[in-house]
C-alpha cells in the first residue's frame, strides 16, 4: 500500500477511536480489511477505546482474528484491545492463552497476554457474582466492564463516573506533555528536547523500532512513561535532561522502580550527546551479550 495512503487511514483510525462515537464502529470494521498491519494496529486500538459504547461480543469477534497478525506489535495492540472488553472476551481466552504459552512469542506479548487472561477471568468472576470490587474513589461496587476498563487504563478499580474524572485529569496532563513536544526527529516523531531527538534519530538510523513516551505497566498498580521503549529488546531508555531538585527526586524514584522490577534500562544524560553513537551502541551491546 502507498505510504501516504497508509498513513491517512492509520490517522483516521486514531481519530475515530478518540471520537467516543459508537457509530464509527462500522467504519473501523472496514479499515480492518485493508492490507496493512499498521492500519490494523491502530484500528484494533481504536475499537478497544470504544469499549462500553459498542457491542462487546461483536467487537471481540471482529478484532480477535488480528491475534494472528504477522507483526508482533499489531498482536500486542489486539491483546490490549481485547482486554478492554472483559467478560465479553471469554470465548477468545484459549487463543490468548496460546500466545502466553508460546515460547517463540515476543516477551512483551507473553506479558500482556497473561495480564489479559487475569483481567478477563476476574471480570468473569465479577459477572458471575463470585468476586466483588469497589471503586477506589467513591467505593461503590464496580461492574465487570468497569473493572476491565479501569484495570487496563489505571491498574485500579473505578466506576465509570470516577473513571471519566480520572481520565480527564490524566488527559489534561498528557495534553500538557504533548504541547511540549515541538522538536521533530527524522522519522517524524515529535519529542521534547534535542537530546531525545538525537536518540530517536540514532534508533531510526539503525533500524531499531521504538515507542516514544508511552505509558507501560511494569508493576501491579503502577505505571511509567519511559522516554523510549525498544520492544524488540525489551529495553527502556531514559534521557535525564534536567537538573532541578524535583526532577532529580523523580528520576531516582523512577530508577528505583525499574531496578526493583528487574527491567533493562539505559540511562543517558546531556553530557552523552557528543558521543551518543559510541555510548548507546556499547550499552545496547552490553544487554545483548548477557
Q: Delimit the domains of the chain by residue range.
A: 3-131, 180-288
Residues in the chain: 290
pLDDT score recorded for residue 172: 60
Return the sign of the alpha-carbon dihedral for residues 214, 24, 57, 171. Answer: positive
> What pLDDT band is residue 124 in, cutting at 50, 70 and 90?
very high
Q: Decide: pTM greater than 0.85.
A: no
φ and ψ at residue 233, rounded to 5 degrees: -110, -10
Average pLDDT for 21-50: 94
According to the model, what pLDDT value does residue 145 have? 86
Q: Which residues pair with 190 in a beta bridge?
A: 184
The highest-level CATH class for domain 180-288 is: alpha beta
Dihedrals phi, psi of 237, to nearest 5 degrees: -120, 125
User: 66-77, pLDDT tens digit by residue?
Assistant: 999 999 999 999
Residue 85, pLDDT > 60, answer: yes
Q: Are 18 and 28 in contact (CB under 8 A)?
A: no
Model confidence at 178, pLDDT cuts 50, 70, 90, reads low
Strand ranges for the chain from DSSP E: 183-184, 190-191, 211-212, 216-219, 222-224, 228-230, 235-239, 264-268
Render pLDDT for 264-274 as a digit per residue (tens, 0 to 9). 899 999 999 99
For residues 209-219, average pLDDT: 75
CATH fold group of domain 3-131: 1.25.10
Assign 223 a pLDDT band (cuts: 50, 70, 90). low
Q: Examine the pLDDT at 219 and tell me if it is beyond 60.
A: no
**Could you give the CA distance from residue 110 to residue 33 in angstroms, rounded to a whole number?**
26
Instruction: Look at residues 220, 212, 214 and name the one whose alpha carbon lies nearest to residue 260.
Output: 220
Enclosing H/E stretch for 219? strand 216-219
Q: Give the residue-averaged pLDDT of 16-40.
A: 93
Amino acid at each position: 500500500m502507498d505510504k501516504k495512503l497508509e498513513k491517512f487511514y492509520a490517522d483516521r483510525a486514531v481519530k475515530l477511536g478518540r471520537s467516543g462515537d459508537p457509530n464509527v464502529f462500522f467504519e473501523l470494521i472496514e479499515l480492518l480489511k485493508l492490507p496493512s498491519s499498521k492500519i490494523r494496529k491502530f484500528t484494533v486500538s481504536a475499537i478497544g477505546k470504544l469499549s462500553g459504547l459498542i457491542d462487546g461480543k461483536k467487537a471481540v469477534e471482529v478484532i480477535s482474528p488480528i491475534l494472528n497478525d504477522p507483526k508482533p506489535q499489531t498482536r500486542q495492540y489486539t491483546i490490549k484491545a481485547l482486554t478492554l472488553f472483559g467478560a465479553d472476551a471469554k470465548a477468545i481466552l484459549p487463543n490468548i492463552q496460546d500466545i502466553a504459552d508460546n515460547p517463540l512469542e515476543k516477551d512483551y506479548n507473553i506479558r500482556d497476554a497473561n495480564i489479559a487472561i487475569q483481567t478477563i477471568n476476574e471480570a468473569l468472576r465479577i459477572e458471575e457474582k463470585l468476586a466483588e470490587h469497589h471503586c477506589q474513589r467513591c467505593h461503590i461496587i464496580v461492574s465487570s466492564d468497569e473493572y476491565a476498563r479501569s484495570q487496563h487504563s489505571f491498574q485500579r478499580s473505578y466506576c465509570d463516573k470516577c473513571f471519566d474524572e480520572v481520565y480527564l485529569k490524566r488527559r489534561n496532563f498528557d495534553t500538557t506533555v504533548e504541547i511540549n513536544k515541538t522538536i521533530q526527529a527524522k522519522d517524524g516523531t515529535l519529542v521534547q528536547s534535542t537530546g531525545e531527538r538525537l536518540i530517536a534519530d540514532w534508533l531510526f538510523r539503525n533500524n531499531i523500532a521504538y515507542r516514544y513516551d508511552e505509558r507501560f505497566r511494569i508493576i501491579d498498580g503502577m505505571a511509567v512513561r519511559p522516554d523510549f521503549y525498544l520492544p524488540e529488546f525489551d529495553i527502556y531508555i531514559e534521557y535525564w535532561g534536567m537538573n532541578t531538585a524535583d526532577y532529580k527526586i523523580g528520576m531516582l524514584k523512577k530508577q528505583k522502580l525499574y531496578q526493583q522490577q528487574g527491567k533493562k534500562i539505559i540511562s543517558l544524560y546531556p553530557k552523552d550527546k557528543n558521543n551518543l553513537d559510541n555510548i548507546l551502541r556499547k550499552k545496547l551491546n552490553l544487554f545483548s551479550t548477557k
